[in-house]
Structure 1
Amino acid sequence: MPKTVVIPPGTGKPLAPYVPGTLADGILYVSGTLPLDAEANVVHVGDATAQTRHVLETIKGVVETAGGTMDDITFNHIFLKDWADYAAINAVYAGYFPGEKPARYCIQCGLVKPEALIEIASVAHLGKSG
């Protein structure tokens, strides 16, 4: 099956061998997204609200580069460092998915960058393409 790599303009170098997104058979897989700047530094250290917004804006950029919208996201995998941030994360998250919500799961775990409080990976259905 053919696949298309999705890399939004201005994307920094990834921390490991992966790309921001891969589109195959109309399904977009967005890699785990941390609150990183173009130099792979964690932004908004200590602020779960701002980090969540940054992560979702980054995901939005990948989805839009692939030709979709946030409404096309059908599943989110959410990883958070501390359950104490759960309410703040959900408040921001709800603003990005105001209508029908995607399916999701949320787990607490250690993240690859200790200053990161959240990581989200997404799946979006964009229709048949790539």
Structure 2
Amino acid sequence: MNSISEIASPDAPRAIGPYSQAVTWGGLLFVSGQLPLDPISGAIVSDDPTEQLAQCLKNIDAIARSAGASINHAVKTTIFLTDLSTFPQLNERYAEFFSKPFPARACVEVSAIPKSAKVEIEAIIALP
């Protein structure tokens, strides 16, 4: 029987609410939505959406590494944006973090993200 285990990385921002950075279950790592926060200062890294996306992915990678995986093991991501018109630039930056086969992905525009961020990303990662 599978059990749920919490994963936390000191190299990613702490959860800002009653949730885990990530949990494992059945060979998968479910990473909570990551904001573009610097893990040390807790501040949003930049006003630039592409820099925010990069920090979200760095945070996801740090959490994945704490579970013995990496962002390269991602099987699904969901990107939340406050302005879908930035999609082309974000798509180019996103491609810098992944190689084929790319993870499955959804990308949606939302009205707001916590801490007034412009980007938030969640991920499902296969554990090696």
Q: Same fold (TM over 0.5)?
A: yes
Aligned to 2:18: 17
Q: Distance in 2 between matches of 1:10 and 1:125?
A: 20
Identity fraction in percent:
30
Residues 57 and 12 from structure 1, CA distance in 2 versus in 1: closer, same or farther, beyond 3 angstroms? Answer: closer
Q: 1:42 aligns with which of 44, 47, 63?
A: 44
Q: How many pairs does the alignment contain?
A: 125
Instruction: Name structure 1 gaps, 5 residues minimum.
Output: none
Contact 1:37 1:43 in 2 (8 A): yes
| Cα separation, 2, equivalents of 1:89 and 1:51 | 9
TM-score by length of 1: 0.88
1:55-70 equivalences under 5 Å are 55-70=56-71
Unpaired runs of 5+ residues, structure 2, are none
Give CA-to-partner distance per residue, 1:58-115, whole Å, 9 cap, x none.
000011110112221100011001012111211111011122111111100021222x
Residue 112 (structure 1) aligns with: 114
Matched with 1:92 is: 93
Aligned-partner Cα distance in 1 for 2:28–2:127: 6
Q: Give RMSD over aligned pairs.
A: 1.5
Instruction: Tell me the TM-score normalized by structure 2.
Output: 0.89
